[in-house]
Every structure is written in structure tokens, then in C-alpha cells.
Amino acid sequence: MLEERDLGASNAPGVAWKVLRMIDLSKLKNPLDWIQARKEIESSVLKVLGKLPKERAELQLKVMDEESFPGYTRRRVNYFVSEWERITAWLFLPDRKDQVPGIVCCHSEHPEGKSEPAGLTGERLMALAVHYAEQGYATLAPDSATAGERVSPGKDAYDTTNFYKDWPKGSLLGKMMWDYTCGLYALGDIPGVDGSRLGIVGHGLGGTCALLVAAFDERVQVCVASCGFTRFHDDKQPGRWVQDGDCALAPNLKEAVAKKEFPFDWEHVLALAAPTPTLLITALNDEKLANTKSCQKAKDAAGNIYRMLGREDALENWTHSKGRAMTVETVDASDSWFERWL
């Protein structure tokens, strides 16, 4: 099904590797075809994400402080995401006695990380952890690596210089995905949270992470990703995935960007998430990343896998014209998706 072509040695951090010719999802005719293709796509994505922790550490979640608000309680918690790394998150628990579903809220590129979905900084409509707690969901908003309380001393947010000293064979994008996955475990283990009903939501870089978590963790029952990607093949600046200022998000893509030959694209990530109900929110005039036509192309391609699995209605691309921002309308669309599927 696939042909391998050696792209030569890499000067990028990470590994030199062969790029697999892109799998055409439209040519997969039955679930058996998809089972084989899925393994190969997973392998390609994981090579880009790089080395991850060998196994999930025992979380040992601790509550640092707690404050009550009308309708919910906010806790500042921390837990392990690796054997040596404990991170901080905001946990919101609604004032309900029954088991409630939970949503992990992935922050955007905001330098203060988790404070954005917690409503402590940034735009009001980006306070998704607060919003969904008010709607009756338990929510968790952690800092991603290099943001918030995880910024290296003397460095700016998302400066990966010190990150790659600790994770020389990994990638920032892979570590973000891993840590949000740990957040799913942390949220699902909270008394009063229904661990079988977990969703994930994010905007911008948070949307990117939400899609990757949904692709690799079956506990995600619902995913909402706003302005999370443009297909590599359609991106006018694909090099930003490799290096954008002091931030190296996925350095193992260096060879692919140089050759313009990618081992996968975002339709393949969407397909890996199938049949998880996934809502893409894209803007017609997003000046940075999420090209609507490109996202629709990815949605249409991955839709073949959703149809094959009997869940054609579980993948949608909702488009608006308000630019790279969460709006009342986009939050309403996200609300409806969670109400429908979670």
C-alpha cells in the first residue's frame, strides 16, 4: 500500500527517518483496509511527535487551595506527568451531587497558559474552563510545557531551548499531547466525575493538542478544536511547525518541510480520532493558521473513515467569519456539540 523513500540524513534535532508516501484515505474501501492503514499512520505521527515518557507516572494529585463561586468550586491542583515532573492545573467542580462529565480545556498560545481558560487573564470568551463548569461539567485546565508556571527561568513562554535539554529526542508538540492525556486521567479520577464521559476542547495551539489527544486516547468521547490546523500541504509557512522564533514545536518535521513531502497530514490525525465526535471550528479570515478550505479538505478526506465506521454525522467543520477568535457563536456551537455527544 505504501512506498518508502529515503529523504536523506537530517540536521534537525531528533531522528533521521524515511517518509511514507501519503495514504489516500478515499481509497480505503473497508474496515480491514483501515486497520492496516491506521497502524502505519500512527507510526508516522508518533515519529514526528518523538520520544515520550515510557509509561504514565502515578498522578498523586494534590489540592493546593480551593475557593467557592456561585455554582462551582475552583481548586488549584498539581500532579505528576512523568516520574520527575509535577505540573499545576485549575480544577473546576460544579455544585452537583450526581456524576458529571468532564472536559479538559487546552489553552491557546497565551503565555500565561492555564490562566486563560480559568478566566484569570485573556479574553472572556476564552475562559472555557469556567464556562463549562457553569454549564455543569467538571473541567481541568493545566499548563502546557513552556507556558504559565512551566516557563523556564529567564526565558519567554514557548522558548524551547531548555525543554530540549530535558527531552532531546522528543518534541514540544508530543509533550503537550502527553501532558493533556495525563490531565484526562487526573480529571477522570476525581470523585464525582464520570470517567467514561470525558471531552476535550482547545483553541489555536490548544485545538491542535485537543485533536492529537483525541487521535491517541480512546477515553476522549468528544473533541472540539477551534482554529487548530492548516494542512501541511496547504500551509504557506509550514516551517513554523519546525521552528517559530525560539519555539521548536515539531523539529522532526524538518526534512519533510524541506522536501515538501509529508508522512501524514491533518486528515490522517482526524481519521485516527474516528469515530470520536469531533467538531472543527474554522474562520474564513484566520490570519495565522486555520485555512477554512484546507480544514474542509481534511474533514472531507477523514469523513470517509467516519462513514466506514458508521459515524458520518460525528465529524463537522463549523465555519465563521470573525477571524482567529472565540466568539459567542463559536462557543454556542461548541456547547451544542458537547450537549449532543457528551
pLDDT tens readout for residues 149-187: 999 999 999 999 999 999 999 999 999 999 999 999 999
pLDDT at residue 28 in the model:
96
pLDDT at residue 152 in the model:
95
What integer is the mean pLDDT of 258-283?
Answer: 95
Strand order in the sheet with 72-80: 62-69, 72-80, 86-94, 138-142, 100-106, 193-203, 220-226, 278-283, 315-320
Q: How far is CA 80 from CA 44, 57, 178, in A?
A: 28, 6, 12
Answer for the pair 171, 134: CB distance below 8 angstroms, yes or no: no
Answer for the pair 75, 90: CB distance below 8 angstroms, yes or no: yes
Answer for the pair 256, 301: CB distance below 8 angstroms, yes or no: no
As a whole number of angstroms, the distance between CA 140 and CA 118 comes to: 9
Reply yes or no: is the peptide bond before residue 275 cis, omega within 30 of 0: yes
Residue 47 predicted with pLDDT over 90:
yes
Nearest Cα neighbor of 146 from 159, 134, 137 is 159
What integer is the mean pLDDT of 259-277?
Answer: 96
Residue 108 predicted with pLDDT over 80:
yes
Q: Categorise residue 105: left if φ over 0, alpha if ψ from -120 to 50, beta otherwise.
A: beta
Residue 328 predicted with pLDDT over 60:
yes
Spell out the domains of the chain, with CATH numbers in brackets: 62-341 (3.40.50.1820)
Say if residue 194 is exposed, middle or buried (CB neighbours under 10 Å; 0-12, 13-18, 19+). Answer: middle
What integer is the mean pLDDT of 53-65?
Answer: 94
The alpha carbon torsion through 257, 5, 164, 83 (nearest 10 deg) reads: 130
As a whole number of angstroms, the distance between CA 114 and CA 202 comes to: 11
Q: What is the DSSP letter of 10?
A: -
- For residue 94, the surrounding DSSP H or E stretch is strand 86-94
Residue with the bigger pLDDT between 260 and 212: it is: 212
The SS3 of residue 26 is helix
pLDDT at residue 19 in the model:
47
pLDDT at residue 322 in the model:
75
3-state helix, strand, coil in the chain (%, to 5): 40, 20, 40
Give backbone dihedrals phi and psi of 92, rounded to 5 degrees, phi first.
-115, 125
DSSP 266-335: HHHHHHHHTTS-EEEEEETT-SSS-BHHHHHHHHHHHHHHHHHTT-GGGEEEEEESS-SS--HHHHHHHH
Mean residue pLDDT across the chain: 91
The SS3 of residue 194 is strand
Sorting pLDDT into bands at 50, 70 and 90, what band is 17? very low
pLDDT at residue 289 in the model:
63
pLDDT at residue 325 in the model:
78
For 194, half-sphere exposure in the C-beta direction (CA atoms, 13 angstrom radius) is: 15
pLDDT at residue 103 in the model:
99
